[in-house]
């Protein structure tokens, strides 16, 4: 009886206190809710500002569901935290931009270059030129495809300025495009071919460097293109005498119109396929999805994923397995095949190092033993390297370079600039 009396007394005391707390907190709850909605709506309007000319259309589609609003605010908070984490990088950039480079900036870097006229607002890239560009016409062009889905690194080309500058200082032209899908990566590679021709550089010295999902996209895009070229030249899947007697890469994307039409059905002449060469085709042909890529000399794949679970399409590992017979029978495939360098850190908790090992192993498995020496496929594993450090290690720090910088730079140089063999 006494305990019941105590419970009733406590309830009578607590209820007014709880009611008072609710009344006092209600303005704060309303203010917080209003701020969450304002932040979500402002984010929505900013992201969709170019999709319509009428603001009323945007206002009608503003997010109202609490779960959507909370999710959008969480994304904004994550972005804010990311930028806070990368404030040291901003300080390093400012030091490099205004103290180290200074007036040379506009001479070595071109911002916002349009690489496809089909979408000039989004198809933009930055180009970095080495100081020794005019010393040789053999300067390689590296197209960097960043990881836009699995890391805390910002998904914008400007962030990778210091990374691209490190490659520039190694003696390469570096192009860093903004992209949203694989088709735009293909257009960026075609731009690199045209750019090399315009500057009288070697258009065969094109390399694609991908990191994370960027490595996945680069590998799938280039390897699928190589397989299509091989099927185009050897539709029966058998080795031809003419191809086995030639060691040169007879790339269908660089064949003259007359030569191409000799080997193809004459009916294609009236279907817009009279030339597969980027240097001979019009802008509309350059941007056409079904054109071949220019010959890519090499792939540099940093911490990539190549066997995505549940994804039968755009799967480089599965692509190789399904076309095993071409590796065994087509000499053209070996001619078209790019050189490949896999780089992965054993401390990578985002992309397992087993991904690169599996990709490297399957390539060694499908290549015939007598032709393995003709295909340059390398793998470098680093014990103390994680996923993000594949990129940040090649950026300068406030005081000096990351200790992995020298090792990564050495492997990149050895891959792109193989030592000249003495006769």
Structural domain contains residue 14 = no
Whether 134 and 166 share a structural domain: yes
How far is residue 282's CA from residue 368's CA, in Å, rounded to a whole number?
A: 39
**String of DSSP letters for 262-301:** HHS-GGGGGTT-S---TTTS-HHHHT-TTSPPPPP-EEEE
For residue 283, what are the domain limits? 87-264+272-416
Amino acid 422: pLDDT: 42
Decide which of 32, 64, 85 is a domain's last residue: 85
Total-model pTM: 0.73
Structural domain contains residue 352 = yes
Total number of domains constituting the chain: 2
Decide which of 31, 61, 85 is a domain's last residue: 85
165-169, 195-199, 287-291, 387-391, range with the lowest pLDDT: 287-291
Whether 238 and 123 share a structural domain: yes
Whether 135 and 153 share a structural domain: yes
Q: How confident is the model at residue 166 (pLDDT cuts 50, 70, 90)?
A: very high
338-342, 346-350, 415-419, range with the lowest pLDDT: 415-419
Whether 93 and 201 share a structural domain: yes
Amino acid 354: pLDDT: 94
Whether 164 and 260 share a structural domain: yes
Structural domain contains residue 10 = no
Q: Is the pLDDT of residue 330 over 50?
A: yes
**Average pLDDT rounded to a whole number, residues 267-285:** 39
Residues 185, 177 contacting (CB under 8 angstroms): yes
- CATH for 232: 3.40.50.1820
369-403 residue pLDDT tens: 888 888 899 999 999 898 888 998 998 875 555 67
> Parallel, antiparallel, or unpaired for β 298-302 and 173-177?
unpaired
Whether 60 and 186 share a structural domain: no
Whether 218 and 326 share a structural domain: yes
> Of the candidates 291, 393, 294, 299, which has an alpha carbon nearest to the alpha carbon of residue 339?
299
How far is residue 188's CA from residue 169's CA, in Å, rounded to a whole number?
A: 22
Structural domain contains residue 165 = yes
Structural domain contains residue 316 = yes
Choice between 312 and 206, residue whose per-residue pLDDT is larger: 206
Whether 164 and 286 share a structural domain: yes
Amino acid 78: pLDDT: 74
355-371 residue pLDDT tens: 999 999 999 999 888 88
Cβ neighbours for 376, distance < 8 A, ≥ 6 positions apart: 298, 339, 340
Structural domain contains residue 16 = no
How far is residue 83's CA from residue 333's CA, in Å, rounded to a whole number?
A: 44
Q: Of 16-20, 202-206, 257-261, 310-314, where does the model show the most confidence?
A: 202-206
Whether 145 and 243 share a structural domain: yes
Helices (H), 159-272: 161-169, 182-198, 213-233, 241-244, 257-263
Average pLDDT, the chain: 79
Choice between 85 and 133, residue whose per-residue pLDDT is larger: 85
2-38 residue pLDDT tens: 666 655 566 666 777 777 787 888 888 899 999 999 9
Whether 140 and 31 share a structural domain: no
Q: Is the pLDDT of residue 259 over 80?
A: no
Structural domain contains residue 176 = yes
Structural domain contains residue 17 = no
Whether 183 and 66 share a structural domain: no
Cβ neighbours for 108, distance < 8 A, ≥ 6 positions apart: 101, 128, 129, 130, 131, 168
Whether 78 and 101 share a structural domain: no
């Amino acid at each position: 009886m006494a305990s019941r009396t105590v419970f009733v007394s406590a309830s009578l005391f607590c209820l007014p206190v709880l009611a008072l707390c609710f009344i006092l907190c209600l303005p704060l709850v309303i203010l917080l809710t209003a701020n969450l909605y304002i932040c979500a709506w402002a984010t929505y309007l900013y992201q969709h500002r170019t999709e319509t000319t009428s603001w009323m259309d945007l206002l009608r589609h503003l997010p109202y569901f609490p779960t959507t609003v909370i999710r959008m605010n969480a994304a904004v908070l994550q972005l804010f935290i990311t930028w806070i984490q990368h404030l040291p990088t901003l300080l390093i950039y400012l030091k490099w931009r205004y103290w180290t480079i200074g007036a040379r900036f506009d001479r070595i870097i071109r911002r916002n270059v349009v690489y496809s006229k089909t979408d000039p607002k989004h198809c933009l890239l930055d180009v970095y030129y080495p100081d020794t560009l005019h010393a040789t016409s053999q300067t390689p062009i590296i197209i960097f495809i960043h990881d836009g889905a699995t890391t805390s690194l910002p998904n914008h080309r400007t962030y990778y300025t210091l990374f691209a500058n490190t490659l520039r200082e190694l003696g390469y032209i570096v192009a860093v495009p903004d992209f949203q899908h694989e088709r735009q990566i293909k257009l960026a590679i075609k731009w690199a071919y045209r750019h090399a021709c315009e500057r009288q550089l070697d258009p065969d010295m094109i390399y694609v460097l991908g990191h994370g999902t960027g490595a996945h996209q680069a590998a799938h895009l280039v390897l699928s293109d190589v397989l299509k070229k091989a099927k185009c030249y050897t539709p029966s899947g058998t080795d031809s005498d003419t191809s086995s007697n030639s060691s040169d890469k007879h790339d269908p994307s660089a064949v003259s119109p007359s030569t191409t039409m000799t080997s193809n059905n004459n009916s294609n002449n009236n279907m817009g396929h009279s030339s597969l060469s980027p240097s001979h085709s019009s802008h509309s042909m350059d941007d056409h999805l079904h054109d071949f890529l220019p010959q890519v000399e090499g792939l540099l794949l940093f911490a990539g994923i190549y066997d995505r679970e549940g994804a039968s399409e755009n799967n480089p590992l599965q692509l190789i397995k399904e076309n095993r017979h071409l590796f065994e029978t087509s000499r053209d495939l070996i001619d078209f095949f790019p050189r490949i360098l896999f780089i992965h850190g054993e401390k990578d908790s985002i992309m397992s190092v087993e991904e690169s090992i599996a990709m490297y192993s399957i390539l060694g498995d499908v290549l015939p033993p007598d032709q393995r020496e003709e295909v340059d496929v390398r793998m470098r594993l680093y014990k103390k390297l994680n996923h993000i450090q594949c990129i940040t290690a090649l950026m300068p720090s406030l005081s000096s370079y990351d200790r992995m910088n020298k090792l990564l730079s050495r492997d990149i140089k050895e891959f792109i600039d193989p030592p000249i063999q003495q006769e």
